[in-house]
Amino acid sequence: MSNDIKIKKGLDIKLEGAAEKVTENAIKSNTCTVRPEDFHSVIPKLSVKVGEKVKAGQALFFDKTNINVKFASPVSGEVTEIARGEKRKILSITVQADKEQSFEDFGALNIDSAKAEDIKARLLASGCWAFVKQRPYDVIANPEVAPKAIFVSAYASAPLAADLDYTLAGKEAELQAAVSALAKLTAGKVHVGVGKNGNSPLAGLSNVTVHNVSGPHPSGNVGTLINKIDPVNKGESVWTVAAQDLVIIGELLLTGKFNAERTVALAGSSVKKPRYFKTKIGSEIATMVYDNGVDKDGNDRIISGNVLSGKQVKPDGALDYYSNVVSVIPEGDDYEFFGWNKPVFNKVSTSRALTFSWLTPKKKFALNTNTNGEHRNFVTTGTYEEVFPLDIFPMQILKSCMYQDLDEMEALGMYEVAPEDFALTEFVCVSKQPHQDIIRKGLDLMLKEIG
Amino acid sequence: MGLKSNLHNLKEKYKGTKMAPAFNAIHTFLYLPNETTHNGTHIKAADDLKRTMNIVIMAMIPCLIFGMFNAGYQHYSAIDALAGVAREVSLFGNFLTWDNFVIGAWKVLPLVIVSYGVGLLVEFIFAVIKGHEVEEGYLVTGMLVPLIVPIDIPLWMLSVAVIFGVVIGKEVFGGTGMNILNPALTIRAFLFFAYPTWMSGDKVWVHGADPRVQDLAAGATPDALSGETILGSLAQNNTGMLDSAGDVWNAFFGFIPGSVGETSTLLIILGGLFLVFSKVGSWRIMLSSVLGAIVMGLIFNGIADSGFISETSKFYGLMSTDFWMHLLIGGFAFGTVYMATDPVTASQTNKGKIVYGFLIGILSIMIRVFNPAYPEGVMLAILLMNVFAPTIDHYVVQGNVKRRMKRLKVKTA
């Protein structure tokens, strides 16, 4: 069974430097760094010490509030550093990788006969639970609460996103294993969104409901999928898993090994030869960016993730736990003479206020990180609605988060949203308000007050 | 590079001091700042508030220039009329003339300078005291104000009104984006209620007609010069000013007495189209407001036609005015295009904008017809709807909330 989901409101931001469909093996990273901050709202409790040997798949730390949720080391090796910040907050755990990787063996699982409890226990023990997120609150799923449905978006519509049809091709067996296992964890369905005109390896899976998605970004966001199919109501929860993480889950269930390998796109206008790399979660970014085209002393920003909601990382930083794209774009820390009133041809805009990107809908832009203006109060109206396909009033919900009215936040639909759903409204915001940050803080407040 | 790096050094020097906002206002006027994104999206669209506001100002410039010529034209026209010479307007013959422009510029430019000077001074003072950046809202307000006042208004009066409007209309609420009432209309309403004799009647709309103004053109006898607006004469049941097709065209093109920039419906329509095209102005508000005005005009026409009120009634003149003429005369077009569409004080939801605009249209014509002292309603209609805009939004948003509640009930039932 397949259904069509067509999005009209949205914006495709076309950027230079999309990854060419060539995959290379990245240089093996000597170290692997896992940062607890990738797992929002998790309070990490270490299960290893510096100097200890770990296998790939062995837990590095677990969640203090939910001790069953473990976070695994992507590689085998020796724990060399545990960096701490203020109040001894754990910033990162670094593992020096072995030359020969050894895996913790969790044992293969017969998915057809396995019970839901077994599957859940296996995912929790192996660290794969980190890939299962929930809404409300956009945090790692609470294993105690059964979701009403599980959502996977296998359509990447974000600017410079890795093409999932390409990176996941040939992984059908793992994907099938993963979704069949997930299907047992919910009384509802597993909904998978695939590109309507694509050739997704997920389109032919069984045990799932496939939806053909088309239209501009954010059509590929899982939040859009949820809102159009089965929005989250108060007291309900749904789970989401990123399509690339299904592969890791699937491989674990089929072979018993936690293999953190992932195909990552290196993209962006600062990259000379943008293409795909096979690498591992937590690998040093430098293993990919320098060898193939970013100037060493260039004034660029490296982002683990896409340009709309990724994290800024230093060249010696690491690929974060969820990303399958590394974007590199020029920094925009320069002044522009009369930049606010002269006609603009080289930047994207949804308006026609002497901005001319509407004349060249096919043109690819090389945008930098300049904010193109200063932070202001909310002034203009109607601009967000043009790029926001969810059945929610974006400006009103943002304001309710800012004045922290829990009742209003709930009524306006906070249970349904994640920060990334507000990436486009943030992009077009004339007042340069930090929408994703506002939503994240709002969700955190609700999580704390309501739970 | 010299200017750029010098300014950058100055910016670093002023950073954290009280004067930083004032300096930044000037700096960011010259240069788009070097600010980069920190969290959230790493790229941002090209538009900022300065650009948006600049578009609105550009849309008003034709009205301003036309207003200058018209000020001169109306002045000489009134002098001719006094001598018993009837004037036929001719665009290049007697309208776009140097004489007209000199008079107009002499009277209008001071209004612009005072409006911006006083208003921005207040903005800078507040920015320095409260430590926030100087916001762009006043760039538009400062241009609106000279366009919606009578030509001969004393400059001190304008200054007092601007200070009142910016402080009470905007800053006490927290600055641009937080205000409830349109600041430009707050300024005009202040003038209207504080100095009514300077804002209404048949003397204030033409330069030199007001006996209180000293610098009269030579040869004109003050008392005899008249500058009645079309609305004013209609309100006195005198329909003579719109009798011929030529009169109507004059009203459309704007060769009529009125506030400085409000007269040319043609240029206002062009400005409105520019705003809609650039997606800065809301077509929803403009369109529904015009529809509202047409509906109300038709209702009044119907009442007048059916004989409910006698021809001697003081409302008859305006009630029997053809509904479409209401769109051409007075400040309705200007208010609809430039003031009702202010995003801060208008409804903020798309559905709400349609209701908001429609009610502005209805109320404008209603107040215009029934206001005995001053036959114009668009200012009061917009101010009134500014107050009700959040209420309209509330009900639109409640629709969304109810849908969500219903979904939950269906699930749990």
Task: pLDDT tens for chain A, 451 residues: list them.
Answer: 458 889 999 999 999 988 888 888 888 888 999 999 999 989 999 999 999 999 999 999 999 988 899 999 999 999 999 999 999 999 999 999 998 889 988 888 888 888 889 999 999 999 999 999 998 899 999 999 999 999 999 999 999 999 999 999 888 899 999 999 999 999 899 999 999 888 888 888 888 999 999 999 899 999 999 999 989 988 899 999 999 999 999 999 999 999 999 999 999 988 888 989 999 999 988 888 877 667 777 888 999 999 999 999 888 889 989 999 999 999 888 888 888 888 888 888 888 888 888 888 888 999 999 888 888 889 888 899 999 999 999 999 999 999 999 999 999 999 999 999 999 999 999 999 999 999 999 999 999 988 7
- B348 closest CA partner among A395, A389, A429, A423: A395
- pLDDT surpassing 60 at residue B214: no
Residue A362: per-residue pLDDT: 87
Residue B216: per-residue pLDDT: 45
Answer whether residue B377 is part of any domain: yes
Per the structure, the complete domain to which residue B278 belongs is given by: 49-398
Q: What is the DSSP letter of B36?
A: B
Looking at chain B, the whole-number percentage of residues with pLDDT higher than 90 is 42
Task: Collect all residues of chain B within an 8 Å Cβ-Cβ radius of residue A355.
Answer: 46-47, 51
Write the pLDDT tens digit of every residue in B85-101. Answer: 777 777 777 888 888 89
B177 to chain A: nearest residue by CA?
A379
Residue B229: per-residue pLDDT: 78
* Secondary element (H or E) of residue B358: helix B350-370
- pLDDT surpassing 50 at residue B218: no
Residues 127-166 of chain B with CB under 8 A from chain A are: 133, 135-137
Maximum C-alpha span of chain A: 68
- Is beta strand A139-140 parallel, antiparallel or unpaired with respect to A132-135? antiparallel
Shortest distance between the Cα of B40 and any Cα of chain A, in A, equals 5
Answer whether residue B257 is part of any domain: yes
Minimum mean pLDDT among A238-252, A287-301, B31-45, B156-170: which range?
A: A287-301
Write the pLDDT tens digit of every residue in B232-270. Answer: 777 777 766 676 777 888 888 888 888 888 889 999 999
Shortest distance between the Cα of A376 and any Cα of chain B, in A, equals 7
Answer whether residue B6 is part of any domain: no
> Which token pair is B178?
């937080």
Mean pLDDT in residue range B61-75: 91
Answer whether residue B112 is part of any domain: yes
Question: Per the structure, how many domains does chain B have?
Answer: 1
Residue B353: per-residue pLDDT: 94
Answer whether residue B159 is part of any domain: yes
Q: What is the DSSP letter of B153?
A: -
Residue B220: per-residue pLDDT: 46
Answer whether residue B121 is part of any domain: yes
Domains in chain A: ranges and CATH: 2-14+109-255 (3.40.50), 31-97 (2.40.50.100), 371-449 (no CATH)
Select the residue of B49, B174, B278 nearest A379 (Cβ to Cβ).
Answer: B49
Output the pTM of the full model.
Answer: 0.90
Answer whether residue B214 is part of any domain: yes
- Top pLDDT among B313 and B179 is at B179
Residue B372: per-residue pLDDT: 66
Separation of alpha carbons B387 and B72, rounded Å: 37
Answer whether residue B146 is part of any domain: yes
Give the residues across from A77 on adjacent strands: A54, A97
> Are the beta carbons of A30 and A38 closer than 8 angstroms?
no
Phi/psi region, residue A202 (left: phi>0; alpha: psi -120 to 50; beta: rest), is: alpha
Q: ipTM score here?
A: 0.88
> CB contacts < 8 Å between A and B, how many?
230
Select the residue of B40, B45, B136 nearest A372 (Cβ to Cβ).
Answer: B45
- pLDDT surpassing 60 at residue B1: no
Select the residue of B178, B280, B350 nearest A353 (Cβ to Cβ).
Answer: B280
Minimum mean pLDDT among B109-113, B127-131, B238-242, B254-258: which range?
A: B238-242
